[in-house]
Structure 1
Amino acid sequence: MVTQEVASVAPAEESASPSRRILGLHLRGGLLWYLLSVAAVLLMALARIVREPRFFFWDDTQLGAFGQWYGLGTRILAGDLTILAPGAWQGGNYLAEGQWGIWNPVVWVIAVFTHVFDGATATVTVVKLLFLVLLCTGAYLLAREYGAAPWWAAVAGFTATAGGQTIFMDAPSWVTGLQNVALFALTWWALKRHVDRGRSPVPFFALSYVLIAFGYVFGAIELAVLLIVVLVEKIIRRSRAEIVRVLVLGAFAGFATVFVYLPGLLTSPVTVRSGSAILNDQFLNMDVGDLLTSPIATGTSSVRGYWGDLVPVPLQYVTWLLPVFILIATGWRRSLRELAIPLAVLVITTAFVIGPSVLGPLRYPARMMPYVVLCVAVVFAVVATNGWNSRPSRRRVLIAVGATIAAGWLSWAAQPSSWLWVCIGVLVQSAAIVVVGYAGARGGRDVGMRAAAWTLVASLLVLVPQIYRYPSSPLGNFNVPSSVTAMHDVGSDMDDGIFTVGDVYSLQQHPDAYDESLLANLWYLTKKDAASVYTVLPFTTYAAELCVDIRGKTCPEALDALFEDREHPLADDMALNTVVVIKGDGLEDRPKAPEGWTVTDSEYVWVLHRDEPVDRAGGVARASEGTSVTVLDRDDTSVRFTVDEVAASGGQVIFSRLAWPGYTVDGAELGDPARDFLLTVDVTAEDVGKVVTVTFRPPGWGIELTSVILAGLLAVAWTIVFGVVRRRGQRAGGDRQPETM
């Protein structure tokens, strides 16, 4: 199949002379070209780090991912892999949040790794470099699997890592996006080698589970698209054995998806993600005009986002190689049959990117651009393998340069103020096309390999103006500390139950303010319960009561909301012991200490401390008049108590927990949530003397457990059955196709 086609266009390896060996590795060998691709990726990353040392420690990585990893690592090292943290309030439903990766062994390793070094910037940079290398590896292997020569697969590996969405959004900030596309590339490779070449299904089971368990829905969507496309292709070809393989792999992925995503889906009715509207507010999606500028590494477009209507970086950048397809057009005919699946995935993914910006709970379709880049990289490598067997004509080179100039003109038209850097980009890329087309392909039997080597070098060089002009992500740098110890020490004088009031984002204006307060998931570094952590699933009524956003910013009125109910202060119901008030608009005056509290002054904040700290959130906050209970024991997911007294008309027991879907009560009944968000249990006079147990399990827990068990059983059973059948086939003389590296 693939290997036979590659052999017809790639030079024979045994013809090389000894001078063409480096460290004992053949220049045409896959390993050397793979290492060159990885080296190019690391060189690109190093250049960005030199330009901006915090390039990979930016925005949501500062406020979300690092603290999340550290908090999970703290729990793992303590032997506690909980699914719920009542004291984190709307940020504490970890399975519904999804992206915590509670069931993901790769995330576990990362989480523990964050406890090894004190420098958050260095730790995060190492993690992200590893995933860039994994993305490069996946693209390289996938290109080889589709028939690309090692040298062109090396180009694909580098190209897959250099797209605008990956470089300016996912790698610096939205790390789950980077993790997803890297695992998707590897999963696709594992799927193809099993379905088409009858190799072991174990890599697919392992890689697809890790991909899905990251909890980032775009990777799961792409995997579903891939499986459907492959299934359709096999049905068209009427390949029964391959159809069965796809169905088995698809069933495994489906069961794993139910296990990971069903909790969030069933929890969404109480969150702000409960909408089902389909609309286009043009926020982080692209149009055809944006895609026409995608060959220009220094070009910007009109993508709307947090920055406004004009994106200040080349977010739409795919690759400078798009016009180079003109030089290898003769390879299309030999490649189309083999590339049917990558091209179909490319078309469908592009349709998502330019489609509505909101599809129910799904937002920001620009996040699917890395998959577009991956498909383009693989397609280019295969077409180049089959089409670059001679020096391109001068006419083709001129047309490719002309296409680059046209894309540059469109980039200038999108943002005329960027004309200088667009011109520089066009000049550099045009020169690169000429060099690759002429100097890199002077003829001879090694023409393709030489052209690929020049292309890999040129792919680095065309990024030099981009790296210089656009040194960082357009998302925010919150100037948070890098020292884990320093952030941990912020909570040293605070008791569990921390809540911040005010504009937490104002801390970034004075970096030394982080000595007095933190924000978002950085509170996890204190190892204290904090209500002001990051969430992607705000609890609707809770967020409205405290006017709190996803990262812990509140309106000034939140301070009054905590204490205005003198009989039952919300601060008591939430088991708060520390309230950090950030000085700013609406919070200019020193707050008065409520009864039982003390206020301390600092330069940037006031801190309210409870004089007699209460137990951590999660227990019984109070009971209605005439009702009393005794708590027997409690943990993050359950509370057990005895009913001592109940008024004749009945009573209520209110907990310092959010009323997430999934709670059950044995011995009493769930009631309507107090304040519309506090877990409440109704008791009657007949319940006096009873032991009542309140337990949290994710909604749909039985279905979820059944799904993961079925996934595991299916993986084991199929691996055994397939292995037995394969060995029988080998004994009968079948399955002798060589592996591709």
Structure 2
Amino acid sequence: MTRVLVAGPAENAELREPDVARSAGRVSAPLITCLLVAVLAQLPVLRPGWFYYADDSATQVLPMWYHLGQQVRNGIWPPVLDPDLLMGGNVAAETLFGVWSPFNALVWVGVSLAGDVGIAGIVVRTFALVAVALGCYLLCREYGAARWSASALATALPLTGSLLHFDAAKWPAALLAFVWVPLVWLTARRMVRGRTNAFWVFVLGALAVTAGNPYALLGVCVVLAALLVEAGLQRRWAGVRRLVLVSAAIGAVVPLVYLPLVRTAHTTWRTTSGGVHDSGALAPHLDDLLNLSMPTYVPAIPGVGVPAVYFCWFAVPLAFWCDWSVVRRRWRELAGPLTIAVVYLLVALGPSEVWMFRWPLRVVHYGYLALAVVLAVVLAAGLRFDRLRARAAATVAFLLLAVHFSAVRSPGSVALGRAVLIAALIGLLIAAALAVYRARGTGPLLVVLQVGTALTFCAQCLWFIGGGADLQYYFPSSPKQMRENYAERYEGRVLQIADTALNDRVPGDGSREMWRDMVMGNAFLLSDVDSVGSYTGIGFRAFTDVLCLGYDGSSCPAAYDALWRPPAGADVRLADLLLLDTVAVQHEIVPRPVVPEGWHLAERNSRISVMRRDEPASAGTGHLSWASPHLRAVSDVSDGPGTEVVDVHRTGGGAGRLVFARIAWPGYTAKWNGSEIPAHAGPAGLLEVALPAGRPGPGRLELVWTPPGMRLGLAAAAGGALLAAGVGIQQVAGRRREPAGAPR
């Protein structure tokens, strides 16, 4: 008979520990895990320092966090609209920044108080990655995993390829949204078991939804559905009822966040009409996911160049030594993570775009969260040493295949050498893990696993960070430096006609020099420059088409000519309608721009020309830029982003028009002397109000903007909160009625 060794000599040591030791371990294990993740999260900054300040993080997210933090500090919350941004001013419809989340508001304020948003971004990422690790640890423990196995997987999860190289490095708003998913999962499962009040599940679920990232919303939906399956299989019918009601309450928050986008999308680039497309963009394949334990494996996805599908080094090699019978014995309890893992496997391997969801690589770490839970539970059941040769052969075969696939995906002697080196390291670490487990138990095994995670991550930082295809911008991350460089040079409202892609054509260090004169996306928000161009994921088509503006504010040569002629439906130049004071033109686009009448050349160097208006376009706080000849604006005051009051004096009795340097986003209402009148998109997509005919004399126009569907969204969210509170109260009352010692 074959002898089976399932556990080392220290198995179930926790059960024999004194109460004091167990209590200390309950705190020390997650604390040490979080500290280790916090330290490892700093390694990418060492090579190079801009890892967390590149691509969309630098041009979109961090500058906007800084700007939104300033608005919150000025008493504007939620900051749903900024009319001065024009392109990216409809923050509510963007959804990305989660304007309804009080947690996000705290992050913005913190970033706005920092002297360097790049450093602030590192701090935010560190706390977020630590929170992911803590959530994963607690979730693994909730499913019965040992402290050591929960710690090993919780350390590995924040360092996975898709989470680190994409959400953490490029899209920190998505990282903040992912933080809530394991916490929602944890509290919802505890609620099903009667250990947590339903209202706390709603609170965490609402924070996940209001984070504004649709992938977090999808994650919450998948988690709650999987828990319904899990609870139903265990016949926890009271928990099922609570879960259904709380899920409905969380769902009631969704209209508040996403209705503005749905009701605005018809005017923008972004469509909500549905459809399935498979361009292959950021879409992994099955053979990619099979290499999830190879730190040097780079998937054949255009533009990636990093181990984007990597999970953790020991997941597959150590799986050959695990006792997987625990899954068979506890399949009902593990139905939740198993369901989630399968769902996200299908999503990751599905089309590259389904409805509003695109780039399947963005959901890989959601599936890895479920995989971490399952693996932590399986590891906690102990390692097996029967059929020693077969297990060793399977481990060696995996490492050899991983080397082969790594070399195939990244041809060349350098890639092959790295793959061989890292495979040898993993082989030694697995051998060491098995040896110390058999001799000393789980404590030394955890040390080997954590050391292996640190070593493989150091190798990844050395080989893949700083030399890839990340877009690096050289403008300062210090608001003080940005103000010193731009604030006095670019006065009033500024339009920059430039193209980020052209910087790549500048030889030598020319691309570094280019950012002395211009920045892209939202970066001007760090300098207090009122820039028309900004970073937007939606874009107002009627406006962006006239100036051929791209998502990051890039433009084309035709934009300069468009400025100096009236757009369709207008009698004055577009530059006047926009209330522009300064125009900066990149010479790569327009080599020698002609200075128009009423303007002068303020600056010219080898890279740009800067034109400035002879007289300021507007001295007030309002945005009125043109009125019919028989209408004279007596005053124009805007005391908030979504409100404006214009006192008008008529010199004639006919109908008239007013045009504002505001984008005509859906949601505007206009009242003339208390009566509602039409407000619609006029020239170049700017807001136009048609005044009815009337007698000469004074009149008042009041403009108000609210996000479309906001009243419905607020009512639905309030109803969801009341429903969750009712479920929570019923849960407390029911617990009090239970006889002592009754099972929950």
Do the structures match in fold with TM over 0.5? yes
Q: 1:486 to 1:408 in 2, by over 3 A?
A: same
Cα distance in 2, alignment partners of residues 710 and 599 from structure 1: 57
Alpha-carbon distance in 2 for matches of 1:32, 1:25? 10
- Which of 446, 450, 467 is the aligned partner of 1:456? 450
Distance (Å, rounded) in 2 between the aligned partners of 1:42 and 1:391: 38
Select which of 471, 474, 477 maps to 2:465.
471
1:569 to 568, 573, 583: 573
Tell me whether 71-80 or 559-568 shows the greater mean CA deviation: 559-568
Residue deviations 1:522-555 (CA, integer Å, cap 9, x gap):
1111234321111111111211111111111111
Match of 1:639 among 640, 644, 657: 644
Equivalent-residue separation in structure 2 for 1:392 and 1:467 (angstroms)? 37
In structure 1, what is the Cα distance between the partners aligned to 2:438 and 2:308? 35
Provide closer, same or farther for how the CA distance between residues 197 and 657 of structure 1 changes in structure 2, counting only shifts above 3 A: same
* Mapping of residues 37-186 of structure 1, within 5 Å: 37-81=33-77, 82-186=79-183
Asked whether the 8 Å contact 1:388–1:448 carries over to 2, the reply is: no
- Does structure 1 residue 331 correspond to structure 2 residue 326? yes
> Does the 8 Å contact 2:246/2:727 carry over to 1?
no
Cα distance, 1:33–1:290 mapped onto 2, change above 3 Å: same
1:349 corresponds to which residue? 344
Deviation digits for residues 328-377 of structure 1, max 9, x if unmatched?
A: 13433234222111011111111111111111332211100111221111
Residue type matched to 1:693 in 2?
Answer: E
Which of 680, 683, 688 is matched with 1:675 structurally? 683
Residue 94 of structure 1: how far off its partner (Å): 0.8
Q: What is the match of residue 280 of structure 2?
A: 282
The amino acid that maps onto 2:668 is Y
> SS of the residue aligned with 2:583?
strand
Q: How far, CA to CA, are the matches of 1:333 and 1:457 in structure 2? A: 31
2-structure distance, mates of 1:432, 1:573: 67
Contact kept in structure 2, 1:497 and 1:528, CA below 8 Å: yes
Asked whether 1:447 is paired with 2:441, we answer: yes
Corresponding position of 2:202: 205
Identical positions, percent: 25
1:289–1:454 CA distance, 2 compared to 1 (3 A): same
Confirm whether residue 413 of structure 1 aligns to residue 418 of structure 2. no
Would the aligned equivalents of 1:151 and 1:453 in 2 still touch at CA under 8 Å? Answer: no
Amino acid at match of 2:310: Y
Equivalence map 1:646-661=2 (5 Å): 650-661=655-666
Letter in 2 for 1:83: V
> 1:700 aligns to what?
709
Which SS does the other structure have where 1:474 is aligned?
A: coil
| 1:253 paired residue among 250, 255, 265 | 250
Deviations 1:72-123 (A, max 9, x none): 1111121123321111002000110112222212222221212333223221
Moved more, 154-163 or 205-214: 205-214
Q: Which runs of 5+ in 1 are unaligned?
A: 1-5, 19-23, 737-741
Task: Provide the rounded CA distance (Å) in 2 between the counterparts of 1:617 and 1:557.
Answer: 30
CA distance in 1 between partners of 2:732 and 2:495 (Å): 56
Gaps of 5+ in 2: 1-6, 505-509
Shift in Å at residue 647 of structure 1?
Answer: 6.5
- Give the direction of change, closer, same or farther, for the CA distance of 1:474–1:26 in structure 2 (3 Å limit): farther
Taking the aligned partners of 1:201 and 1:627, their CA distance within structure 2 comes to 59
The CA deviation string for residues 224-275 of structure 1, in whole angstroms up to 9 with x for no partner, is 1111222233345443211121112211211122211111121111111115
- Deviation track 1:166-199 (CA, whole Å, cap 9, x = no partner) reads 1211111111222222221122111111122431
Deviates more, 1:392-401 or 1:466-475: 392-401
Question: What amino acid is aligned across from residue 468 of structure 1 in structure 2?
Answer: L
Q: Identify which of 305, 326, 332 aligns with 1:312.
A: 305
1:529 paired to 2:518: no
- Contact 2:194–2:239 (Cα < 8 Å) also in 1: no
Structure 1's 406 and 703: CA in aligned 2 closer, same or farther, altered over 3 A?
same
Partner of 2:726: 717
Which residue identity is paired with 1:550? Y
In the alignment, the residues of structure 1 paired with residue 529 and residue 658 of structure 2 have an alpha-carbon distance, to the nearest angstrom, of: 26
Q: Distance in 2 between matches of 1:101 and 1:561?
A: 35
Aligned equivalents of 2:520, 2:577: Cα separation in 1: 22
Deviates more, 1:459-468 or 1:254-263: 459-468
Cα deviation for residue 642 of structure 1 reads: 4.7
- The CA distance in 2 between the partners of 1:205 and 1:392, in whole Å, is 48
Determine if contact 1:51/1:471 at 8 Å carries over to the other structure.
yes
The residue that corresponds to 2:540 in the other structure is 539
Cα contact 2:292–2:310 (8 A) shared by 1: yes
Higher mean Cα deviation, 706-715 or 390-399?
390-399
Number of residues of Structure 1 aligned to a counterpart in Structure 2:
714
Contact 1:629–1:643 under 8 Å retained in 2: yes
Q: 1:63, 1:521 within 8 Å by CA — same for their partners in 2?
A: yes
Equivalent of residue 224 in structure 1, options 215, 221, 224: 221
Tell whether the 8 Å contact from 2:669 to 2:679 is kept in structure 1 after alignment.
Answer: no
Q: Corresponding residue for 1:733?
A: 741
The answer to whether the Cα contact below 8 Å between 1:495 and 1:613 also exists between their aligned partners in 2 is: no
Structure-2 separation of matches of 1:456 and 1:652 = 69
Letter in 2 for 1:657: R
Instruction: Tell me the amino acid that sits aligned with residue 662 of structure 1.
Output: G
2:668 matched to which residue of 1? Answer: 663
Checking the alignment, whether the CA contact within 8 Å between 1:583 and 1:605 is kept in structure 2 is yes
* 1:504-523 aligned within 5 A: 504=500, 509-523=510-524
**1:359 paired to 2:370:** no
Which SS does the other structure have where 2:112 is aligned?
Answer: coil
Give the structure 2 partner of residue 296 of structure 1.
294
Structure 1 residue identity aligned to 2:134? T
Aligned counterparts of 2:247 and 2:326: Cα–Cα separation in 1: 32
Letter in 2 for 1:679: L
Counterpart code for 2:540: F
Aligned CA RMSD, in angstroms, stands at 2.7
Give SS of 1:462's match. Answer: helix
Distance 2:153 2:89 in 1: 40
TM-score (norm: length of structure 1): 0.90
The alignment's TM-score, normalised by the length of structure 2, stands at 0.90
What is the rounded CA distance, in whole Å, between the counterparts of 2:710 and 2:178 in structure 1?
28
Which residue number corresponds to residue 553 of structure 1? 554
Q: 1:147 to 1:632 in 2, by over 3 A?
A: same
Offset at residue 676 of structure 1 (A):
4.9
The answer to whether the Cα contact below 8 Å between 2:495 and 2:582 also exists between their aligned partners in 1 is yes
Letter in 1 for 2:350: G
Tell me which residue corresponds to 1:21. Answer: none
Shift of the 262–440 alpha-carbon distance from structure 1 to 2, 3 Å rule, reads farther
- Other-structure match for 1:582: 586
Aligned CA distance change for structure 1 residues 52 and 719 (closer, same or farther; 3 Å): same
